[in-house]
Amino acid sequence: MSVKSVWRTHYQNGFRVNQELGMPYHLYCGLKATLMALPYGVFISSLGPNWSWWGLLSGGLLWLFFCFNFEIYVHQHMQTGTLAAMRVSKGQWLTRLGGTGLICGVFVYLHIFFIAAP
C-alpha cells in the first residue's frame, strides 16, 4: 500500500465507530480538543472591555493544535493495540462538559459584571 492509500484509509475509518473507543476517533479528538481550547478562547475574549475576536482566533488555533496532536496520539495507540485504555464513559464526558461550561460561565460572568461594567 502506498502512503497516500494508508492515510486515506485512516481518514475514512476515523468517521466510523471504533469499537475500542465507542465513538469515531475524529469525533473523540474533536470533542477532547474543544473541551480544552474553549475555556482558553473565552478567557482571552473576556479580557478587554469589549468582547474580543482574538479569543476565537487563539482558541481556534489551539483547537487545531490539540486536535492534530490527539489524532497522532490515537494513531499511535491504534498501532500498539492499546486504544481501549483511552475510552471515556458518557458520565465522564458529561462531567468534562459541565466543567468546561462552568469555567466559561465564570469568565463570561466576570466579563459582564466586572470588566465591561460601566
Mean pLDDT along residues 101-115: 92
Helices 25-45 + 90-110 axis angle, to 10: 20
pTM of the model: 0.81
Give residue-wise pLDDT tens across range 58-93: 999 999 999 999 989 988 888 888 888 888 899 999
Q: Which residues pair with 18 in a beta bridge?
A: 23
Give residue-wise pLDDT tens across range 39-52: 999 999 888 788 88
Cα 12 from Cα 75, distance rounded (Å): 13
In the prediction, which pLDDT does 9 show?
76
